[in-house]
Amino acid sequence: METLLLNAKDKGATDAAAKILKNGGLVAIPTETVYGLAANAFDAKACENIFIAKGRPGDNPLIVHISDMEMLNEVVSEIPEGAKILAEKYWPGPLTMIMKKSEKVPDVTSANLPTVAVRFPSHPVAREIIEKAGFPLAAPSANLSGSPSPTSFEHCVHDLMGRVEGIIDGGASSVGVESTIISLAGEKPVLLRPGYVTLEQLQEVLGEVMVSHAVLEKLEEGEKVLSPGMKYKHYAPKAQVTLIKASSDDYVKYVNEHAKDGVYALCFDEEAEKLSVSTVTYGSEFSDEQQAEHIFDALRIIDESGAEKVFAHSPKVTGVGLAVYNRLIRAAGFDVIEL
């Protein structure tokens, strides 16, 4: 199929994107977290096409994006107290909340679950397109299933050219990792995916927050999880990645001792010049926000480098670092060395 490439800065671009969506088509759109592959959330056929375009397993539900609180009432059947408080504080922004779904949300969108994931993005282009379309947009990350999430227009073109009706350029995603997902559909709030809104911040608002064990650990074969996305080996790079938990000095020493052809270091900015192997950096050791912003681009660069073996320096697991760690440990297939 022909893919219409748009730039949000051009006049009429968001109108053109909204028009495609109104006609049941798919458009990759920028959000502050990562780019999303959007379709009318109420149109079962359009949502089915998202699964086809991405090669996404049908049992992995989509996130529904809204641009005002009225739309929230259309997609959920009730709004728990905790959700109201979190919405007040973190919406619009990189937080997704799971609630009981309304009848208007088709089963394909929620992958037959009685719940729906909802997010109110802060990115002005995303909001403008939702407003112009006039309906909520179902949008998973706009990558091919199994590739790192796209944080730029170029990433989307690389993965989806010829597979979707449109891709709109809205610049690089500033957060860089997908939204925090919290379930408010059960008795207690459960963190399903860490993101830019941190566990510490959620605890401050809600008190106790359980953490799904899929956040940090490998699932058992056939294990049932609250968030189906967690069971797939996401973000799988071509190279074999090992995550190294160590101080900067010990990491540098270890990698230099294991230097040979095909070995790469996925390291912090401050470490690159001390390493004797090829390096790809993903931000300063001292900024978890920078690490989040750059991690997916760094993983794509590694994929294109022809690296065979990658030693990735583990981020800290506090604050936004937990989100970066969660993505990296999956890229490493849970292969961790602690020094």
48/270 with CB nearer Mg ion? 48
- Tokens read off for 178: 């997908």
In order of 46, 48, 189, 326, the CA distances from 39 in angstroms are: 6, 9, 28, 27
Please report the beta strands in the chain, taking only residues with DSSP state E, as ranges in sequence order.
4-7, 27-29, 36-40, 63-65, 95-100, 115-119, 137-138, 166-169, 180-183, 190-193, 210-211, 240-245, 263-267, 278-281, 309-313, 336-338
The stretch among 77-85, 134-142, 272-280, 305-313 that binds ligand TXA (CB under 6 A) is 134-142
User: What amino acid is encoded at 92 in this protein?
Assistant: P
β-sheet bridge partners, residue 243: 312, 336
Cα 100 from Cα 78, distance rounded (Å): 6
User: Is residue 262 classed as helix, strand or coil in its secondary structure?
Assistant: coil
275/329 with CB nearer ligand TXA? 329
By beta-carbon distance, which residue lies closest to ligand TXA? 229
The stretch among 5-13, 26-34, 300-308, 316-324 that binds ligand TXA (CB under 6 A) is 26-34
CB of 141 to Mg ion, least distance (A): 3
Show the binding pattern over residues 105-144: x = contacts Mg ion (CB under 5 A), - = does not: ------------------------------------x---
Write out the binding residues for Mg ion, residues 138-177 only, by CB under 5 A.
141
User: Is residue 41 classed as helix, strand or coil in its secondary structure?
Assistant: coil
CB of 98 to ligand TXA, least distance (A): 5
226 touches ligand TXA by CB under 6 A: yes
229/319 with CB nearer ligand TXA? 229
CB of 42 to ligand TXA, least distance (A): 16
Tokens 């109420």 belong to: 42
Cα 63 from Cα 119, distance rounded (Å): 7
36 touches ligand TXA by CB under 6 A: yes
307 touches ligand TXA by CB under 6 A: no
20/113 with CB nearer ligand TXA? 113
173 touches ligand TXA by CB under 6 A: no
Given candidates 83, 119, 159, 239, which one binds ligand TXA under the rule CB under 6 A? 119
Handedness of CA 275, 279, 284, 286 (dihedral sign): negative
Query: Are 28 and 160 within 8 A, CB to CB?
Result: yes
CB of 206 to ligand TXA, least distance (A): 17
- Tokens read off for 73: 């009432």
The stretch among 82-90, 139-147, 279-287, 295-303 that binds ligand TXA (CB under 6 A) is 139-147
Pairing mode, if any, of strands 27-29 and 36-40?
Answer: antiparallel
| φ, ψ for residue 159, nearest 5 deg | -85, -35
The stretch among 30-38, 78-86, 276-284, 288-296 that binds ligand TXA (CB under 6 A) is 30-38
178 touches ligand TXA by CB under 6 A: yes
User: What amino acid is encoded at 207 in this protein?
Assistant: G
141/290 with CB nearer Mg ion? 141
227 touches Mg ion by CB under 5 A: no
Write out the binding residues for ligand TXA, residues 40-99 only, by CB under 6 A.
60-63, 96, 98
Cα 261 from Cα 251, distance rounded (Å): 18
The single-letter DSSP state of residue 151 is -
Q: Could you tell me which of 60, 116, 63 has the C-alpha nearest to residue 230?
A: 60
By beta-carbon distance, which residue lies closest to Mg ion? 141
| Residues found near ligand TXA in the complex (CB under 6 A) | 31, 33-34, 36, 60-63, 96, 98, 110, 113, 115-117, 119, 139-141, 178-179, 181, 192, 226-230
| Residues found near Mg ion in the complex (CB under 5 A) | 141
